[in-house]
Structure 1
């Protein structure tokens, strides 16, 4: 039997080697199948995460678009209101100029009457009043009225522009806060 065993040793060795290789092949096949399953699961997870990220990016983009549209509308409304306020200031300036012109016309008529009365008194031999102080007063009044009108117009337009600037700043600040807080109003 030992001789038979020695004679067939190469057969038994080949059989054991074949079984070992078959087992190794079976183990490699199982590992490959497990790796393929893990790869498929990872790819599915990656695709789901990409889809979620794309949806989140789309929502964020839409939110920012809405915030930008709202800010642009607020700025347009503020600009319209500012233009109306500036037009109102210009109208006020025009009315003030009309009132100033009427006042200056009335003052010029008064001075003309006063000069004529003074000349009539002088022609009658009476003491004629000096008209220079009245003319100086009229000139000072005209200058003061002109300057007051200019300053009033500057103040009115500065106020209208300041309010528009404040509203634009508030709108931008609100948009930035809303973007940082993650909510679209």
Structure 2
């Protein structure tokens, strides 16, 4: 069984990746070359790559869940979300402030920097999450939707993946310490 993370970037995908690696999965995450390959529609090349791994999260994997579901019928899918779309957008902007314009954001969202395109990004986030939920609506056992900010953690993840619960605190990777003002208004 391969677990695939379907959350967009800045939805605690790195936390999910650390959890999956803790369980012993050979894991892959965001890769710009893979995102370029996805953007060009070369899914077979990506299929060859993902066969080398037990789990994945972030781009491009979160964007190709229908293809992955068809290729790996035994797979499980985990949608990581933020408490609100506004919190997600704020995190996206803070990350953009640190990294500057990126090709990856342009390929996924259409813009290298999110700040001036709030509604576009919020709509993209909401639509992605809804499409994932709708896609798996008749197979609820294939999809786990989690929000670490709401208290989801080891219990939900372990039950879903049928893994023993670790005797350690749940990791929160890249957790922001403070919020940036005025990004959600």
Q: TM-score, normalised by structure 2?
A: 0.20
| Structure having the larger proportion of residues in helix | 1
Larger Rg: 1
| Structure having the larger proportion of residues in strand | 2
Q: TM-score, normalised by structure 1?
A: 0.20
